[in-house]
């Protein structure tokens, strides 16, 4: 698949879990979803070194098809009000959370790489005190290649709201700030208010804004979607930003576990191993030659039996046609009763799906305690940019270089070998051969889903081969 545009959706969800879940389930054709006023809540109690009762683990909505980018909150009071979800298919673009440049709970700065150039996306929630804008004004950060700065700015002004006759000095600060990033205010293709008023008699307003690159093809091309807002009083905004064509792999060679292809692969490897002559391993070079031949045998058998499998961004969903119907009914009527019906359908469907999954795990493994992992604290994916010796490492090559240098820090250090003279020499001993049964016993402890190296031979394959 060739990615030509970066499709971005944003919305203030007013701390509603159901709206976030609905967006992640129904808006999978977007690449980046920017959320303001995300809901955070106490998920469970986790062990603590200072409190015998444990401490609160704060979390938010997760989804297997999306990577969550957010500053990790210490407690509910410090929870960030902006976050982003990145489609898992965009892994080649190498998105990073850039808290090394901007570290604020109301500003999310992300970088990604396209055609060897680093670009930035900024998601902002500016409350009534405009703390986020004041922070940006004070730090005076210089960032090149910002593609979009967007969010809920909580500023009414005649410049972008035709129903508001006044001008604000805060608006001037916002425009100056956008100009410092080489961005200009974008006008929507369908001008309309982005926020519905909660007060009877008060006019709706336009406070959700988008700033795009000067003279770019996407400026003045973003859209407002009032029909998608659900119970939030903010309408979503969307934009398609052209990028240099990026090839996204949509398939890979794979042998599924317990398939006919895996059986054929193992049988072919066993046959080749039986005919393999290992009687002449006289020196290091011979051993290396043998190992390379074994690697070639495994690779040939793998390529012969592996199938091209499509990589899909859709997991096995709990979301059903019944959920879609209830959502469509609510969007058509906008009635509170239909919203309650939709909420009930989603809750019951999700509960039924996970109850079924729990039962499957318990029945298949007969080990209900394996489900304990579901309630443990889960680490978020590594989205922070890595620094090594003061320099950011954003490419696979630079990351590998940092890893290599870290584990070889004393490689070129001089060592006094005279200390070895103090050791008494010991007689050379021969290699003690081990029995096949000893090897089998050692394999029992190895995880069936892991591999002993990059040669595609899994531990479970060796267990079958050595039966």
- The per-residue pLDDT string of the chain (467 residues; one tens digit each, 9 = 90 and over) reads 788 899 999 999 999 999 999 999 999 899 999 999 999 887 777 777 777 777 777 888 888 889 999 987 777 778 899 999 999 888 888 899 998 899 999 999 999 999 889 999 999 999 989 999 999 999 888 898 999 999 999 999 999 998 888 998 899 999 999 999 999 999 999 999 999 987 777 889 999 999 999 988 999 999 999 999 999 999 999 999 999 888 777 677 888 888 899 899 999 988 888 888 877 888 888 888 888 888 898 889 988 998 887 665 544 578 888 999 999 999 999 899 999 999 999 999 989 988 888 787 777 665 666 666 655 555 556 677 777 777 777 777 777 788 877 777 777 778 888 888 888 888 888 878 888 888 888 888 888 877 777 777 888 888 888 87
The interaxial angle of helices 284-305 and 260-274, nearest 10 deg, is: 150
Secondary structure class of 356 (helix, strand, coil):
helix
Secondary structure class of 240 (helix, strand, coil):
strand
Task: Read off the DSSP letter of residue 313.
Answer: S
Q: What count of residues does the chain have?
A: 467
CA distance 181 to 169: 19
For 84-129, the DSSP string reads EEEEGGGGGG--EE-TTT--BTTEEEEEEEETTEEEEEEEEE--TT
**Residue indicated by tokens 């899909």:** 312
Domain ranges of the chain: 2-247, 251-310+414-465, 321-375
Q: Sign of the CA dihedral 225, 17, 208, 117?
A: negative
**The CA-based dihedral angle spanning residues 296, 395, 36, 214, taken in that order and rounded to the nearest 10 degrees:** -130
CA distance 246 to 148: 19
β-pairing verdict for 96-97 and 107-114: antiparallel
Secondary structure class of 165 (helix, strand, coil):
coil
CA distance 63 to 193: 30
β-pairing verdict for 146-152 and 117-125: parallel
Q: Which CATH superfamily is domain 2-247 in?
A: Endonuclease/exonuclease/phosphatase (3.60.10.10)
pTM summary value: 0.77
Which is nearest to 206 in space by CA: 160, 171, 150? Answer: 160
Q: What are the tokens at 269?
A: 């490897």
The interaxial angle of helices 17-26 and 321-333, nearest 10 deg, is: 110
């Amino acid at each position: 698949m060739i990615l030509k545009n970066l499709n971005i959706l944003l919305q203030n969800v007013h701390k509603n879990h159901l709206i976030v879940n609905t967006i992640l389930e129904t808006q999978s054709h977007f690449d980046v979803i920017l959320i303001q006023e995300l809901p955070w809540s106490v998920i469970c109690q986790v062990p603590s070194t200072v409190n015998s009762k444990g401490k609160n683990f704060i979390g938010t909505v997760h989804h297997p098809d999306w990577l969550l980018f957010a500053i990790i909150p210490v407690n509910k009071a410090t929870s960030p009000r902006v976050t982003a979800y990145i489609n898992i298919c965009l892994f080649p673009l190498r998105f990073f959370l850039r808290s090394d440049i901007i570290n604020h709970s109301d500003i999310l700065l992300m970088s990604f790489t396209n055609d060897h150039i680093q670009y930035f996306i900024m998601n902002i929630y500016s409350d009534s005190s405009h703390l986020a804008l004041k922070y940006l004004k004070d730090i005076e950060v210089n960032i090149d290649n910002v593609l979009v700065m967007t969010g809920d700015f909580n500023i009414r002004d005649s410049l972008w709201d035709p129903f508001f006759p006044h001008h604000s000095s805060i608006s001037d600060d916002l425009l100056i700030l956008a100009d410092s990033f080489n961005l200009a205010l974008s006008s929507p293709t369908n001008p309309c208010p982005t926020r519905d008023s909660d007060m009877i008699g008060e006019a709706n307003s336009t406070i959700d804004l988008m700033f795009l690159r000067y003279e770019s093809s996407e400026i003045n091309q973003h859209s407002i979607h009032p029909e998608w807002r659900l119970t939030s009083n903010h309408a979503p905004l969307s934009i398609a930003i052209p990028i240099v064509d990026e090839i996204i792999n949509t398939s890979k060679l794979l042998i599924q576990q317990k398939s006919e292809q895996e059986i054929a692969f193992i049988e072919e490897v066993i046959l080749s191993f039986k005919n393999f002559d290992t009687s002449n391993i006289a020196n290091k070079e011979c051993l290396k030659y043998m190992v390379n031949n074994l690697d070639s045998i495994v690779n040939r058998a793998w390529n012969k039996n592996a199938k091209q499998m499509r990589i899909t961004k859709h997991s096995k969903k709990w979301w059903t046609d019944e959920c879609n119907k209830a959502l469509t009914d609510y969007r058509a009527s906008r009635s509170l009763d239909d919203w309650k019906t939709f909420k009930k359908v989603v809750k019951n469907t999700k509960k039924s799906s996970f109850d079924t999954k729990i039962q499957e795990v318990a029945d298949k493994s007969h080990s209900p305690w394996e489900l304990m992992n579901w309630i443990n604290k889960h680490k978020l994916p590594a989205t922070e940019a890595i620094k090594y010796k003061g320099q950011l490492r954003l490419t696979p090559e630079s990351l590998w270089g940092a890893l290599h240098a870290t584990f070889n820090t004393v490689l070129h250090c001089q060592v006094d070998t005279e200390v070895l003279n103090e050791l008494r020499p010991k007689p050379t001993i021969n290699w003690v051969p081990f029995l096949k049964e000893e090897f089998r016993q050692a394999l029992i402890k190895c995880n069936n889903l892991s591999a002993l190296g990059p040669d595609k031979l899994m531990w479970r394959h060796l267990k079958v081969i050595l039966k």
